[in-house]
Amino acid sequence: MSVTDIQKETFINLLEQIRTHLQTIQKQNKELSRENLKLKAKLENIQKDQTDIFSSISESERITMRHQVNGLIEKLDKHLGE
């Protein structure tokens, strides 16, 4: 076998290894894409079920909480003003 034949064979072997590796990576990419879609759908379902803290309490409770916060702010203002 001549040197060029050996080089050609080496090149072909390396090229085949690259193709195999590329196919493996493409397969992994497809699997990850599918998994990503499933996770996104799961996240959307979780987000739909979630509510913020204020939507879960009544209006009267919100007003009470607002008065308490305002009272604390006034106390802080008085304390810092002295």
pLDDT digits (tens, 9 = 90+) for 31-74: 999 999 999 999 988 887 776 666 677 888 888 999 999 999 99
Prediction pTM value:
0.52
Give the model's pLDDT for residue 9: 95
Q: Can you give the residue ranges of every domain in the chain?
A: 1-50, 56-82
Q: What does the DSSP assignment read for the chain?
A: --HHHHHHHHHHHHHHHHHHHHHHHHHHHHHHHHHHHHHHHHHHHHHHH---TTTTS-HHHHHHHHHHHHHHHHHHHHHHH-
